[in-house]
C-alpha cells in the first residue's frame, strides 16, 4: 500500500462525525439486505403455500440465497483488498435489488429459488463489504463502540422485517410479491447516501489475479453436499449409489479446492490467515454459531404460523424477544469491549447463553406457553449479539489493513457456510419428522392418505380439511423443538472454540503494522 494512504488512515483523518456520516450509508445498505431477508421469514409459509411448494422447497428458498452468498463472499472480500470498496458495495446493492425484483415476479417455487440464488450474490457482497469498509475506517478497539450501531440496525431490520412482511402478506391489496419489491426504493436511497458520505482509500496493485477456480470448487462442493442432505432418506437411502456418488464428489471437489487455494497467488480463502490460532478458532465458532442461529431461527416464523396458527403479522411480533436480545447485548457488550479492550469473556459468555437459549427451545411443542418460548428466544438473541460480530472483530485485530478484506470475508464465509449447512440439514430433519408424523397421525385417525388435499401443499392450510389442518399444525409444532435440540448441540462446539481463545487485547490503530511499530516489535514487510 502507499505510504500516504497509511499515514492518513493512521492519523485518524476521519472525525467521529465523519465516521457517523459514512456509517449512515453503510448501515442503510446493511438494513436493506437484512430487512429484505427477514421480510421473507414470516411471509414464506404463505408464499410457498401460494406457489404450492413443498417443505423441501421452503428450505431451499432460504438455502439458495445463503449458498450463493457463501460462495461469493470470499470473492467480494478479495476484490475489496484490490479495488474500490465503495464501488463494490454499490455493485453488490444493484445485484441484490435486481434479484429481489426477479423474485417478486416468480410464478413457481422453482423460479423463486433461482431468483433468491441470484439475490444471494448481492447479499454476500453487502454483508462482507460493510464489515470491510468499517474495518478500514475504525481501529479494532474503537470498533466495539460502533458495533452497537451495527447491532441496532441488525435488531431493527430483523424485528421490523418480519413485522413488515406479515403486514404485507396480510394486506390484500399488496400481496406477498411486495415483500421483494419494497426494498428497491430503500436501496436507491442507500446508493445516494453512500455516494455522498463514503470516502475510502483505494489500493491498486498490478498483476492481480482473482482465484475464481477456488471459489467455484468450494461452491460446487458445498452445493452437492447440501443437495444430498436435502434428498437423502426421502428420494434415496443413506447407503445407496446416489449417496456415495454425491458425497464422494463433494469431498473430492472440496479437497481439490484446498489444493488450489494453497497454490493460488491470490486465494479467496488465504490459508496463511486461516492457520492462525485466533482465526481458526473464530472460524470454528462462526460455523457453530451460524449453523445454530440461522438453522434454528429461520423456522420460528413457520412454527408460529403453521404450528400455532398465528397470522404472519402476529408471528413477526412474537419474534421480537429474539431481536431485542441481539440489540441489547450487542450495544452493551460493544461499549464494554471498547472500554476494556478485552473480547474473549464476551465471546465465551455469548456462546454459552446461545446454547442455553436453544436448550430451552428444544423442549417446546405446539402447546408450549408463549412466555417460555419468548425467554428462550431472548437468550438466543443475547448470545448472538455477544458473539457473532465479536468473532469478526477478533480476527480483524490479528491482520494488517491490506488483508482486512480477505480476513473479514473469510469469517463471514464460514459463518454463512454454517448457516447454509444449518438451514439445509435442520430443514431436511424437520421435513422428514413432519412427514412421518403426518403420515402416522393420518393413519391413527383413520383418514385415507389421499385425503390430504391431493396436490395441495401441506403448507397451504387454507385448502386442507379442518381435521387434517389440526394434524399438520401439531406435526410442525412438535417437530420444531427437535431441530432446536440439534442447534444446541452444534452450539456447544462454539463454546469449546471460544474457551480455547487466547486472551486478546484489541489494538488502538487501524493497521497491525503501526501497532507493532508502536510496541517496538518488528514489522513484516509489505508486498
In percent, the amount of the chain with pLDDT more than 90 equals: 8
Q: Is the pLDDT of residue 135 over 80?
A: no
Listed in sequence order, the residues at least 6 apart from 440 whose beta carbon sits closer than 8 Å to its beta carbon are none
Same domain, 193 and 286: yes
Write down the pLDDT at residue 378. Answer: 92
Backbone CA torsion sign across 22, 23, 24, 26: positive
Residue by residue, DSSP assigns 52-116 as T--HHHHHHHHHHHHHHHHHHHHHHHHHHHHS-HHHHHHHHHHHHHHHHHHHHT--SHHHHHHHH
Write down the pLDDT at residue 447. Answer: 64
Same domain, 235 and 140: no
Instruction: Return the closest-CA partner of residue 479 out of 522, 523, 422, 438.
Output: 438
How is residue 474 written as a grid cell? 401439531
Three-state secondary structure call for residue 68 = helix
Write down the pLDDT at residue 67. Answer: 77
Query: Radius of gyration over alpha carbons of the chain, in Å?
Result: 23
Residue 182 in any domain: the answer is: yes
Three-state secondary structure call for residue 283 = helix
Same domain, 194 and 54: yes
Domain of residue 377, residue span: 16-201+266-515
Same domain, 242 and 143: no
Write down the pLDDT at residue 376. Answer: 93
Same domain, 446 and 327: yes
Same domain, 83 and 113: yes
On whether the CB atoms of residues 492 and 355 are closer than 8 A, the answer is yes
Q: How many helices (H) and strands (E) does the chain have?
A: 20, 0
Q: How many CA atoms lie within 13 A of 211 on its CB side?
A: 25
Higher pLDDT, 342 or 10: 342
Identify the band that residue 19 occupies on the pLDDT scale cut at 50, 70 and 90.
confident
Identify the band that residue 154 occupies on the pLDDT scale cut at 50, 70 and 90.
low
Instruction: Return the closest-CA partner of residue 497 out of 279, 271, 275, 270.
Output: 279
Residue 420 in any domain: the answer is: yes
CA distance readout (Å), 373 to 235, 305, 357, 370: 34, 14, 9, 5
Lowest-pLDDT range of 152-161, 243-252, 323-332: 152-161
On whether the CB atoms of residues 430 and 299 are closer than 8 A, the answer is yes
Summarize pLDDT for 276-300 with one digit per residue, the tens. Answer: 788 888 888 887 777 766 666 667 8
Q: Show the CA angle centred on residue 142, arms to residues 137 and 148, nearest 5°.
A: 95
Same domain, 130 and 252: no
Global confidence as pTM: 0.71
The total number of structural domains in the chain stands at 2
Residue 4 in any domain: the answer is: no
Higher pLDDT, 350 or 464: 350
Mean pLDDT of 63-71: 78
Summarize pLDDT for 501-527 with one digit per residue, the tens. Answer: 877 776 555 555 554 554 444 444 333
Q: Measure the CA–CA gap between 199 and 188, rounded to whole angstroms.
A: 18
Mean pLDDT of the chain: 77
In percent, the amount of the chain with pLDDT more than 70 equals: 80
Instruction: Return the closest-CA partner of residue 7 out of 506, 407, 507, 517.
Output: 517
Same domain, 363 and 405: yes
Write down the pLDDT at residue 507. Answer: 58
On whether the CB atoms of residues 397 and 504 are closer than 8 A, the answer is yes
Q: Which residues pair with 505 in a beta bridge?
A: 342
Instruction: Return the closest-CA partner of residue 279 out of 291, 270, 292.
Output: 270
Same domain, 260 and 408: no
**CATH at 385:** 1.20.1250.20
Three-state secondary structure call for residue 505 = strand
Question: What φ, ψ does residue 417 adopt, rounded to 5°?
Answer: -60, -45
Write down the pLDDT at residue 245. Answer: 92
Question: What φ, ψ does residue 341 adopt, rounded to 5°?
Answer: 80, 0
Summarize pLDDT for 159-214 with one digit per residue, the tens. Answer: 677 778 778 888 878 888 888 888 778 777 878 888 777 777 665 555 556 777 88
Dmax over CA atoms of the chain, in Å, equals 79
Same domain, 260 and 354: no
Last residue of a domain, one of 221, 246, 265: 265
Mean pLDDT of 251-278: 82
Interhelix angle 370-396/277-297, nearest 10 degrees: 150
Q: Is the pLDDT of residue 476 over 70?
A: yes
Q: Which residues pair with 236 in a beta bridge?
A: 232
Question: What φ, ψ does residue 138 adopt, rounded to 5°?
Answer: -125, 130
Residue 157 in any domain: the answer is: yes
How is residue 9 written as a grid cell? 488512515
Backbone CA torsion sign across 415, 375, 437, 110: negative
Name the strand (E) or helix (H) holding 364.
Answer: none
Last residue of a domain, one of 265, 286, 309: 265
Q: Is the pLDDT of residue 459 over 60?
A: no
Identify the band that residue 337 occupies on the pLDDT scale cut at 50, 70 and 90.
confident
Residue 502 in any domain: the answer is: yes
Residue 9 in any domain: the answer is: no
Write down the pLDDT at residue 402. Answer: 64
Residue by residue, DSSP assigns 208-243 as ----HHHHHHHHHHHHHHHHHHHHBTTTB-SSSHHH
Residue 238 in any domain: the answer is: yes
Residue 63 in any domain: the answer is: yes
Interhelix angle 277-297/466-499, nearest 10 degrees: 170
Q: Measure the CA–CA gap between 337 and 379, rounded to whole angstroms.
A: 20
Q: Which residues pair with 232 in a beta bridge?
A: 236
Same domain, 356 and 380: yes
Write down the pLDDT at residue 90. Answer: 85
Same domain, 258 and 357: no
Instruction: Return the closest-CA partner of residue 462 out of 43, 44, 49.
Output: 49
Last residue of a domain, one of 238, 265, 292: 265
Write down the pLDDT at residue 526. Answer: 34
On whether the CB atoms of residues 193 and 26 are closer than 8 A, the answer is no
Amino acid at each position: 500500500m502507499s505510504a500516504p494512504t497509511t499515514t492518513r488512515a493512521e492519523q485518524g483523518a476521519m472525525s467521529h462525525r465523519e465516521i457517523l456520516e459514512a456509517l449512515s450509508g453503510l448501515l442503510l445498505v446493511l438494513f436493506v439486505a437484512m430487512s429484505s431477508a427477514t421480510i421473507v421469514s414470516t411471509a414464506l409459509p404463505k408464499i410457498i403455500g401460494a406457489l404450492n411448494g413443498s417443505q423441501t422447497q421452503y428450505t431451499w428458498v432460504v438455502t439458495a440465497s445463503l449458498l450463493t452468498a457463501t460462495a461469493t463472499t470470499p470473492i467480494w472480500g478479495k476484490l475489496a483488498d484490490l479495488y474500490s470498496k465503495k464501488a463494490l458495495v454499490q455493485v453488490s446493492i444493484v445485484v441484490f435489488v435486481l434479484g429481489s425484483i426477479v423474485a417478486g415476479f416468480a410464478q413457481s417455487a422453482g423460479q423463486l429459488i433461482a431468483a433468491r440464488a441470484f439475490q444471494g450474490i448481492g447479499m454476500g457482497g453487502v454483508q462482507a463489504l460493510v464489515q470491510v469498509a468499517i474495518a478500514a475506517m475504525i481501529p479494532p478497539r474503537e470498533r466495539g463502540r460502533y458495533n452497537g450501531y451495527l447491532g441496532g440496525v441488525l435488531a431493527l431490520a430483523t424485528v421490523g422485517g418480519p413485522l413488515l412482511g406479515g403486514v404485507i402478506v396480510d394486506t390484500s391489496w399488496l400481496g406477498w410479491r411486495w415483500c421483494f419489491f419494497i426494498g428497491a426504493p430503500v436501496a436507491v436511497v442507500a446508493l445516494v447516501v453512500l455516494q455522498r458520505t463514503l470516502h475510502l482509500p483505494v489500493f491498486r496493485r498490478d498483476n492481480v489475479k482473482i482465484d475464481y477456480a477456488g471459489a467455484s470448487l468450494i461452491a460446487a462442493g458445498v452445493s452437492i453436499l447440501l443437495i444430498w442432505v436435502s434428498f437423502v432418506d426421502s428420494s434415496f437411502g443413506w447407503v445407496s449409489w446416489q449417496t456415495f456418488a454425491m458425497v464422494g464428489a463433494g469431498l473430492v471437489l472440496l479437497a481439490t479446492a484446498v489444493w488450489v487455494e494453497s497454490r493460488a497467488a491470490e486465494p479467496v480463502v488465504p490459508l496463511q490467515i486461516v492457520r492462525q490460532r485466533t482465526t481458526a478458532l473464530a472460524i470454528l465458532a462462526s460455523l457453530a454459531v451460524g449453523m445454530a442461529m440461522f438453522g434454528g431461527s429461520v423456522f420460528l416464523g413457520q412454527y408460529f404460523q403453521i404450528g400455532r396458527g398465528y397470522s404472519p403479522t402476529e408471528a413477526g411480533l412474537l419474534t421480537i424477544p429474539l431481536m431485542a436480545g441481539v440489540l441489547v447485548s450487542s450495544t452493551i457488550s460493544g461499549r464494554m469491549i471498547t472500554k476494556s479492550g478485552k473480547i474473549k469473556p464476551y465471546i465465551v459468555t455469548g456462546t454459552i447463553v446461545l446454547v442455553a437459549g436453544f436448550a430451552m427451545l428444544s423442549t417446546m411443542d405446539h402447546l408450549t406457553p408463549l412466555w417460555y418460548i419468548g425467554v428462550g428466544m431472548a437468550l438466543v438473541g443475547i448470545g448472538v449479539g455477544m458473539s457473532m460480530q465479536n468473532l469478526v472483530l477478533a480476527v480483524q485485530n490479528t491482520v494488517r489493513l491490506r488483508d482486512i478484506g480477505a480476513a473479514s470475508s473469510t469469517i463471514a464465509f464460514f459463518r454463512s457456510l454454517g448457516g447454509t449447512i444449518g438451514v439445509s440439514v435442520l430443514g431436511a430433519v424437520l421435513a422428514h419428522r413432519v412427514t412421518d408424523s403426518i403420515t402416522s397421525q393420518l393413519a391413527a385417525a383413520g383418514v385415507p392418505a389421499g385425503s390430504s388435499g391431493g396436490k395441495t401443499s401441506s403448507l397451504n392450510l387454507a385448502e386442507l380439511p379442518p381435521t387434517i389442518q389440526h394434524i399438520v399444525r401439531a406435526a410442525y409444532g412438535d417437530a420444531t423443538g427437535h431441530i432446536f435440540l440439534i442447534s444446541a448441540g452444534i452450539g456447544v462446539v462454539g463454546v469449546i472454540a471460544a474457551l480455547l481463545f487466547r486472551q486478546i487485547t484489541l489494538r488502538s490503530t487501524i493497521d497491525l503494522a503501526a501497532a507493532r511499530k508502536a510496541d517496538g516489535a518488528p514489522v513484516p514487510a509489505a508486498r
